[in-house]
Structure 1
Amino acid sequence: MAVLVDPIRILDVLARDVRNLVGDGRAEWWMPIDLYREGDHYVVGVDLPGVDPGSIDVRVSADTLSIQAERHAPSTDGGAWLIGERPYGRFRRQITLPDGVDADRVSAGYHDGVLTVRLPLTDAAKPRRIAVREAEERHALDVAEAA
């Protein structure tokens, strides 16, 4: 089950931001995501603008999806920064997967600065339609079995 609000994660993000502002800028940054269900699979959307697709690492192990990427700061060629609000460095996020994800069929794509990871459900986890018999039919079966 996905947790919508994680106060520990919020505090962790604030601590990383402070470390980057007063430290050496090499702390790992947290990346915002969307997670939703679409038919028979889950979809994870990750904002990674300006990230080299070759630096993106997506891994699935047991019940965890791990995503890492890196964005390098542009060179100022001897100039001085006036404003530097965009985060650079390593980005990392781990998500506990919902039950029933088929880890062998996970796929990922990167387009327009957004990483999309598709997590298909196993056949056992997909919803199935159950036929409902009428009560009269069931009663007739009970009588026939008792005879």
Structure 2
Amino acid sequence: MARTFDPFRDMERLFEQRSTSQPGMNMDVYRSAEHFVAEIDLPGVDPSSIDIDIDDRTLTIRAERKSRASDDTQWLTRERATGTFARQLMLGRGIDAGRIEADYTDGVLTVTLPVAEESKPRKISVAHSGGQREISSEVVEEGDEG
């Protein structure tokens, strides 16, 4: 039985596993064209405290939110988490780790994970000439699968 090739299956499975909220780092993940995008809420975080590392296929995001209260503060309600937060994402093989980009705007960290060129869908054309077969490949643009 042939399996349908899906270069994004691993990424989607990862994001489904990571769909539970973690204190201080709520995240939305979606696919847009040839990128996966992770948007992570980090309100009140000093941008200089954000640290993103990649080791093999593990992307680690760390950030710190400091309390603005003084030592003599008497809390009435305290719902906003402070301290150092970390989140790890296991990336599928279909991501181009060398082209990952990140931007922090209005309290949201946006990490863009481009799909690797070799993982993009391709059409294989078969030509027949004089008993020899020639196989070539070309990248299929989205919406151009006809």
TM, length-normalised to structure 1: 0.70
1:96 aligns with 2:90: yes
Of 111, 119, 123 in structure 1, the residue corresponding to residue 117 of structure 2 is 123
**Aligned counterparts of 2:115 and 2:33: Cα–Cα separation in 1:** 9
| Higher Cα Rg, which structure | 1
User: Which structure features the higher share of strand residues?
Assistant: 2
> What secondary structure, in the 3-state scheme, does the structure 1 residue paired with 2:48 have?
helix
| Structure with the higher fraction of residues in helix conformation | 1
Shift in Å at residue 35 of structure 1?
Answer: 1.7
Matches within 5 A, 1:1-147: 1=10, 2-3=13-14, 4-5=16-17, 29=23, 31-76=25-70, 78-131=72-125, 141=128, 144-145=130-131
1:44-101: CA deviation from partner (whole Å, max 9, x where unpaired): 1101111010000011121111000000011246331111111000111001112221
Q: Match of 1:85, SS?
A: coil
Q: Match of 1:115, as an amino acid?
A: L
Q: Is the Cα contact below 8 Å between 2:24 and 2:41 reproduced in 1?
A: no
Q: Distance in 1 between matches of 2:48 and 2:56?
A: 24
Which amino acid in structure 1 is aligned with residue 52 of structure 2?
Answer: V
Q: CA deviation at 1:37?
A: 1.5
Conserved? CA contact 2:24–2:81, under 8 Å: no
For normalisation by structure 2, the TM-score amounts to 0.70
Deviation for aligned residue 1:5 = 4.4
In percent, how many aligned pairs have the same letter?
A: 42
Segments of structure 2 that go 5 or more residues without pairing to the other structure are 1-9, 133-146
Name stretches of at least 5 consecutive residues in structure 1 with no aligned partner.
14-28
| CA-atom RMSD in angstroms | 2.6
- Of the structure 1 ranges 104-113 and 33-42, higher mean CA displacement relative to structure 2 is found in 33-42
